[in-house]
Amino acid sequence: EVSAEVISSVKNKINIPLIVGGGIRSKTQIENAFIAGADLVVIGTAFEEDQQFFEQLKH
């Protein structure tokens, strides 16, 4: 998982959309990435490992 500090630091240094991915396995991690400055969060393994992950995100 990429820390909020790293996301925020990178976001403050670039002028293009920031895409964050890697180790994202919960709704809280997704929310924290957006709060820290991510423009897009990539989720892959979580969907492969847990077929109900998408349903959990809806709540």
The domains of the chain, with CATH numbers, are 4-57 (3.40.50.12600)
pLDDT tens figures, 4-58: 999 999 999 999 999 999 889 999 999 999 999 999 999 988 888 888 888 888 8
Structure tokens given for 30:
């997704």
At 41, which helix (H) or strand (E)? strand 40-42
Per-residue confidence (pLDDT) for residue 9, from 0 to 100: 98
Q: How much is the pTM? A: 0.85
Q: Is 51 helix (H, G, I), strand (E, B) or coil?
A: coil
How many Cβ atoms sit within 10 Å of the Cβ of residue 49? 9
Per-residue confidence (pLDDT) for residue 40, from 0 to 100: 97
| Cα 54-57-52 angle, rounded to 5 deg | 35
Per-residue confidence (pLDDT) for residue 51, from 0 to 100: 81
DSSP at 39:
S
Per-residue confidence (pLDDT) for residue 37, from 0 to 100: 98
The Cα 46–Cα 18 span in angstroms is 20
